[in-house]
């Protein structure tokens, strides 16, 4: 595609998705709607798959997959070398720049695959699991597959084509679940997840190429990407340090305790960080391009940030409060008695999940303000600090790890929020006042569920499924009534934006 044609295509895409009759708030809401629908369906499907896989594979195989994912997720996190966010943030883009970035990323991902193959025996020896050699080598092919679609996904995000992104995510998740179940049926064991992961990455890249009609040509110009690299290098450094620090608990559990213990811990961590991974990721994925539009408007950026974090806390805090109270019943309903060691770490990690959910948008602010240097420094600080408390906590088993992580993240939250409040000129009192309703409502849910559990046991006996169903329904209704009564402005604003975003536009 020629530069002139590509430029015309970009303008058509902008005209299609970003009509001038729509303000930024409506665009943001439409993005959240599509991303939210996609994430809800993905979460529902992944939850069903997780239940099935956990029951069939057991803690040990699930722990093996978690160890493999440490390497796979690392390659995926740094596989774009910061080029994806740089494309979203950059204002002027041409075909030569896209080609240069495409080949840079593809060569980089191929190099990551080569490094993974070389280091697989070292990783396997470190965790005392020889099978990790084959698992890591095969799964590292996903780096190259994902890298081939990075430019396409970044351009879809840049132009806020969230409907197409939602289709890609849902389709790839379905293929992962369906193929993994099929391979398990034919008794491939833990390899079922590896093959399912490769097929998921492949479909993701194929759909990205279908939805964004950029086709790379054999041209490369270092001058074109030199400016992008300045932005991207800090992001890459931050991602490396942040990834290692965020997976340090997995590494220590797998190395100091056991692979089986890691299976228990992974399930607890997956369930308690689900709001941060799904709900917060929805908003942060939409927030970054939206914040980038307002990067020179500090007042608007500050209001948007506070509003987003308040909305997130009103959703994620009560969900995790409910999981904290009902964690024992949850494990008994969806899993079996062999997964009981998951319960206590899950309850403790609910606090970590709540903190992570409202910290998720911090990176979007730093990127939008072109302060990736802060992200890099913060990632290094985490990497240096986090191992010691986790090692100390490991002497007390999984609960000790969970407590150590919770205390560490409380300290992280206080420190990083002070930096971000200074950047956006937010008073700490205003930020805490914004969070207080969410905290109060969540404590109310804990109190309501705790009291109701005792009453229901007397009325219906030990029918756990009925008990949990009644508690979820009752607490949901009560919470919605509270939001309608005490958060009337937010309720009216959200419903108003939904109506505006759903209203057909004049052609």
Select the more confidently predicted residue: 324 or 57.
324
The Cα–Cα gap between 68 and 204 comes to: 20
Q: How far is CA 46 from CA 262, 270, 379, in A?
A: 19, 11, 29
**Residue with the larger pLDDT of the pair 79 and 438:** 438
Tens digit of each residue's pLDDT (9 = 90 or more) over 447-498: 988 888 878 877 777 788 888 888 888 888 888 888 888 877 767 755 654 5
The whole-angstrom distance between residue 446's C-alpha and the CA centroid of its chain comes to: 26
Q: Max alpha carbon distance in the chain (Å)?
A: 74
Cα–chain center distance at 47: 15
Instruction: Please report, for residues 91, 99, 154, 211, 352, the alpha-carbon distance to residue 221 in angstroms, rounded to integers and kept in the order given.
Output: 18, 8, 20, 26, 44
- Whole-angstrom CA distances from 499 to 26, 153, 284 are 9, 28, 22
Q: Which pLDDT belongs to residue 299?
A: 73
pLDDT tens readout for residues 495-507: 654 554 445 444 3
Tokens of 441: 């409502």
Q: How far apart are CA 239 and CA 126, in angstroms?
A: 23
The domain spans of the chain are 3-502
Q: How many CB atoms lie within 10 A of CB 14?
A: 14
Q: What is the pLDDT of residues 22-40, one digit of tens each?
A: 444 555 555 555 555 555 5
| Closest to 219 in 3D by CA, of 109, 87, 104, 88 | 104
Locate 84 and state its tokens. 């994806």
How high does pLDDT run on average in the chain? 78
The more confidently predicted of residues 498 and 180 is: 180
What's residue 2's pLDDT?
A: 41
pLDDT tens column, 110-159: 999 999 999 999 999 999 899 999 999 999 999 999 888 888 888 887 77
Return the percentage of the chain with pLDDT > 90, whole number: 19
**Centroid of chain to Cα 270:** 11
Residue 224 near residue 103 (C-beta atoms within 8 A): no
**Range scoring the smallest mean pLDDT among 28-37, 44-53, 327-336, 428-437:** 28-37
């Amino acid at each position: 595609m020629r530069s002139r044609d590509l430029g015309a295509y970009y303008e058509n895409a902008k005209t299609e998705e970003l009509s001038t009759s729509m303000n930024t708030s409506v665009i943001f809401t439409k993005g959240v709607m599509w991303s939210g629908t996609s994430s809800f369906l993905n979460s529902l499907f992944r939850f069903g798959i997780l239940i099935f896989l956990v029951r069939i594979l057991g803690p040990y195989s699930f722990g093996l997959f978690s160890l493999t994912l440490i390497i796979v997720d690392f390659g995926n996190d740094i596989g774009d070398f910061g080029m994806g966010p740089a494309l979203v943030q950059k204002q002027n883009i041409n075909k030569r720049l896209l080609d240069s970035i495409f080949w840079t990323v593809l060569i980089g991902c191929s190099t990551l695959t080569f490094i993974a193959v070389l280091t697989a025996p070292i990783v396997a020896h470190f965790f005392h699991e020889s099978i990790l050699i084959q698992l890591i080598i095969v799964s590292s092919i996903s780096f190259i597959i994902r890298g081939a679609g990075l430019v396409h996904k970044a351009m879809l995000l840049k132009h806020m084509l969230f409907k197409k992104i939602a289709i890609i995510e849902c389709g790839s998740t379905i293929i992962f679940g369906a193929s993994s179940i099929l391979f398990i049926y034919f008794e491939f064991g833990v390899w079922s997840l590896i093959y399912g992961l490769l097929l998921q990455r492949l479909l993701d890249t194929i759909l990205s190429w279908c939805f964004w009609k950029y086709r790379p040509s054999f041209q490369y110009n270092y001058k074109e990407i030199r400016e992008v690299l300045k932005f991207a290098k800090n992001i890459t450094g931050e991602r490396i340090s942040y990834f290692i620090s965020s997976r340090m608990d997995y590494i220590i559990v797998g190395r100091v305790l056991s692979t089986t213990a890691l299976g228990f811990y992974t399930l607890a961590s997956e369930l308690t960080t689900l709001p941060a991974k799904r709900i917060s990721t929805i908003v942060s994925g939409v927030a970054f391009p939206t914040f980038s539009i307002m990067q020179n408007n500090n007042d608007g950026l500050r209001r948007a940030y506070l509003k987003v974090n308040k909305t997130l806390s009103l959703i994620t805090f009560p969900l995790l409060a409910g999981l904290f109270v009902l964690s024992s019943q949850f494990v008994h309903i969806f899993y079996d008695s062999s997964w009981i060691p998951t319960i206590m770490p899950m309850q403790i990690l609910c606090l970590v999940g709540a903190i992570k959910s409202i910290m998720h948008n911090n990176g979007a602010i730093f990127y939008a303000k072109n302060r990736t240097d802060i992200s890099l420094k913060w990632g290094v600080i985490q990497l240096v600090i986090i191992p010691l408390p986790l090692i100390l906590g490991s002497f007390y088993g999984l609960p000790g790890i969970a407590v150590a992580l919770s205390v560490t993240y409380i300290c992280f939250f206080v420190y990083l929020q002070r930096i971000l409040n200074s950047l956006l000129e937010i008073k700490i009192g205003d930020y805490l006042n914004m969070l207080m309703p969410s905290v109060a409502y969540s404590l109310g849910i804990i109190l309501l569920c705790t009291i109701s559990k005792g009453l229901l046991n007397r009325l219906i006996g030990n029918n756990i499924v009925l008990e949990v169903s009644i508690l979820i329904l009752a607490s949901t209704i009560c919470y919605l009534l509270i939001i309608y009564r005490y958060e009337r402005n937010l309720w009216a604003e959200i419903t108003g934006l939904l109506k505006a975003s759903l209203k057909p536009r004049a052609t």
